[in-house]
Chain A
Amino acid sequence: MHGAQDMEGTNSAFVFEGNWRDFAKIAFPNLLLTIVTLGIYRFWATARERRYLWSRTRFVDEHLEWAGTGMELFLGFLMVFVLFGIPYVFLTFIAQALVARGYEALGVGLTFVALTAIFYLLGVARFRGLRYRLSRTRWRGIRGGSDDGGFLFGLSYMWKTIAGWIPLGLLIPWSMTSLWNERWNAMSFGPFRFESNAAAGGVFVRFLLFYLAPFVLFVGGMIMAGMGMLAGYGIGGEDGMRVGGVVGILGLVLFFYLGLGLIAVAFYAKFYREVVGATRWRDLHFSFEASTLDWVKLLVVDAVLVVFTFGIGLIFLSYRHWKFFMTHLEAGGEILLDELTQSETRTAKHGEGLLDAFDMGAI
């Protein structure tokens, strides 16, 4: 097993070997335990799920391993609760008391400070969430991580997000790709850093759909509404026309929302192809091959699964999303196993508390 692992010629570097029946044996007891512990077990449930998903994912010739524990996720949660939750309650309490005493401006100002702090912590959380996941992922006993605490990234996140929105949102593709680069460039696996140089240009055209589409959709919708009215008139005269018009307008609204959702999916599909494709690690290059249609299928089946099981299907979403991610993720290049030594990055003893608090995914 010494020497180089050459990825060319094999079918896919990442292979997911799990199945939903095995996952169900983990997810249902998890759900039960989470309910009877009033939610406290969810940290251990998350660790169990990840252990399963990671261990059923093969990268080249060895399975991944999730080394995180439920206890550290729980500690992370407690830490966030004490460090940020309680001060936040305190701050809002003071803000309300100030407003009640007649210092409205001060109270509003304090609330603004609290919200700004949350905005900042959101960025820090995204960074630390990714760092946590890399540091708990093992492949051949080697892990990833970062020595950066993400506190500067939090500032970048703030100003780049705001700057992205100011020119009518036109710089959002830039802020998204540049934040991706900044985050991944700070991460490493084993002794080597990730490198990412995603460019906004690649996703900009897709992003313009957001501006163009409302017009197209509106005109299309108007035509549909008009046709609905005409059809209604044909069937039932004046009254029919009114009914047809209402149906047409309903169609227009639906069309509008679905259309906008579709554009968002199309943009994100392109975005992930671009940014993953621009990410490298040593001599490895990555790619993500999910098309817009793949994403639509994922989301539609997600929705159907959740709705038709009265919400119980929610427990399978993490499985579906991981499988989707691993199925479409590809890597090519070469790894020299001898030079792949252990990561020297520090590891935090606590889990992704912040990220958990804000309920976001890491990638």
Chain B
Amino acid sequence: MAKACSMPSTWARSDPMGEAFEVAAEWYDGINAVRHSGELSWDGCGAFMLDGPTDRQSFAATDLRFGETRPGKIVYRRDSVPDFRLILPEDIPPGLAVRLPAKSEYGAWVDRLGLGKAVAIFGVVSAAAVALFMTAPDWLGPRIPASWERNIGEAMVGDFGGRICHTPEGDAALAKLLAKVDPAEEKVRAGIANMGMVNAVALPGGQVLLFDGLVQQAESPEELAGVLAHEVGHVRERHVMTALLRQFGLSILLAGADSSVTNGVFGLASMGYSRDAEREADDYARARMADSNISPLGAAGFFERMSEEYGDSADAPALAGWLASHPSSGERAEAYRDAADGDARYTPVLTPEEFAALKSMCEEDPDVETFDLF
């Protein structure tokens, strides 16, 4: 190996070891399409020489990069001449082969690790990432400060475009209803929205909206108490933030797995609560109603009517993105019915006058905006 580097003109052929350091080669100079053929040889001290009748050049071994393999051939490139291509036969003399850059197959990381090891490591990391993304909302959601959530809710809906109905009597009735299902010092903000849909939502930032369509549907104030308590349950159990985070995490995962960014984007616009969250909110609602001596039969009747009207799989699509709707089902009606204590003497939650004030609230509010989009 100890060759005289100062005599590049006498390399290869004059050396008895030369055969091991020389191989037939074809190359393109990257300047025009003319193919050159000749020999590639190693000069003994860090450089390769290409010698042919039409072209002759030498370059440092470190300049050479593996390109690709073809049947029976290997293609190399040069860092300093981007479109230079050197094509060598597959069986290169060992003396030369050790000087040439290593083949790369899958990409730098996988090549270094080996396919099996890389798959195992990537697999573990990915599984951990998925697990983190799937569970993070459950523990992170409740830890997001309420003030942040309020800001997010503020950014999303603001004052709901002045579509919240107000009359003095109606507001008083709603406040009374809310006081019975939300015992906390700082109450959630509840309102009746001037929209015809039979729906109710809990928005980020502790705001609960009953839609006027649902209020009109209700046959007793107990029904409204049940629905309101359920939504308050979502707020108190911090489900809203959890659902937001879950949707966000999912959309990020989808963006990686899916080739279309748009899919991930649209994923962000659909949000729902998990079944567990629905059950928790129902549990909360039944507990508060029991505390306040409100009959759960009203809510049971409401869910029964809903399941008759819309079918048991009434997972109605979300109104607009994050305004998620609620599925109602016969199963839930049954749970409310079972919660009723046969011996208890329930007190009416609102007087008939108060209930009527809630029902006529949107009609009698002269300032309320309508929702013209739907």
Interface stretch, picked from A33-41, A165-173, A243-251, A270-278, is: A33-41
Beyond known contacts A65-B67, A100-B156: 8 more, CB 8 A cutoff? A33-B118, A55-B75, A71-B107, A88-B261, A96-B269, A99-B373, A141-B84, A342-B83
* B131 contacts the other chain (CB 8 A): no
Minimum C-beta distance from A192 to chain B (A): 12
Identify the 8 closest CB pairs spanning chains A and B, nearest first.
A102-B161, A141-B28, A39-B257, A340-B33, A140-B33, A36-B123, A100-B157, A36-B122
List, in ascending order, chain B residues with CB within 8 A of A338's CB. Answer: 32, 34
Minimum C-beta distance from A350 to chain B (A): 15
A73 and B107 alpha carbons, distance in the complex (Å)? 13
Given A36-B126, A88-B265, A102-B369, decide whether A97 and B258 contact each other with a Cβ distance below 8 A.
Answer: no
Interface residues of chain A: helix, strand, loop or mixed (majority):
helix
List, in ascending order, chain B residues with CB within 8 A of A36's CB. Answer: 119, 122-123, 126
Does the CB pair B70–A96 fall under 8 Å?
no
**Contact digits for B1-35, partner A, Cβ 8 Å, 1 yes 0 no:** 00000000000000000000000000011111111
A175 and B269 alpha carbons, distance in the complex (Å)? 34
Q: Which residue of A71, A108, A337 contacts B373 across the interface (Cβ within 8 Å)?
A: A108
9 residue pairs A–B, Cβ–Cβ below 8 Å: A29-B115, A36-B119, A36-B126, A56-B70, A65-B75, A92-B269, A96-B322, A97-B155, A141-B29
Interface stretch, picked from A193-201, A318-326, A355-363, is: A355-363
* A190 contacts the other chain (CB 8 A): yes
List, in ascending order, chain A residues with CB within 8 A of B37's CB. Answer: 1
* B159 contacts the other chain (CB 8 A): yes
* B162 contacts the other chain (CB 8 A): yes
Minimum C-beta distance from B245 to chain A (A): 15
Closest to B258 in A: A39
Does the CB pair A70–B107 fall under 8 Å?
yes
List, in ascending order, chain B residues with CB within 8 A of A281's CB. Answer: none
Does the CB pair B32–A142 fall under 8 Å?
yes
Interface range for B: 35 or more
Does the CB pair A140–B35 fall under 8 Å?
yes
Given A29-B115, A81-B255, A89-B265, decide whether A97 and B157 contact each other with a Cβ distance below 8 A.
Answer: yes
List, in ascending order, chain A residues with CB within 8 A of B150's CB. Answer: none
Closest to A5 in B: B33
Q: Which residue of B29, B68, B110, B262 contacts A357 across the interface (Cβ within 8 Å)?
A: B262
Residues of B22-55 at the interface with A, using a CB-CB cut-off of 8 Å, are 28-35, 37, 54
Minimum C-beta distance from B313 to chain A (A): 26
* A112 contacts the other chain (CB 8 A): no
Does the CB pair B320–A55 fall under 8 Å?
no
Does the CB pair B106–A340 fall under 8 Å?
no
A99 and B159 alpha carbons, distance in the complex (Å)? 11
**Contact digits for A329-347, partner B, Cβ 8 Å, 1 yes 0 no:** 0000001011111100000
* B268 contacts the other chain (CB 8 A): yes
* A44 contacts the other chain (CB 8 A): yes
Does the CB pair B256–A103 fall under 8 Å?
no
Minimum C-beta distance from A106 to chain B (A): 11
Residues of B356-374 at the interface with A, using a CB-CB cut-off of 8 Å, are 369, 371-373
Q: Which residue of B35, B110, B123, B257 contacts A1 across the interface (Cβ within 8 Å)?
A: B35
* A63 contacts the other chain (CB 8 A): yes
* B249 contacts the other chain (CB 8 A): no
Closest to B323 in A: A100
Does the CB pair B83–A142 fall under 8 Å?
yes
Does the CB pair A33–B83 fall under 8 Å?
no
Given A100-B320, A103-B161, decide whether A37 and B33 contact each other with a Cβ distance below 8 A.
Answer: no
A341 and B31 alpha carbons, distance in the complex (Å)? 6
**Contact digits for A58-73, partner B, Cβ 8 Å, 1 yes 0 no:** 0000110110001100
Residues of B327-374 at the interface with A, using a CB-CB cut-off of 8 Å, are 369, 371-373
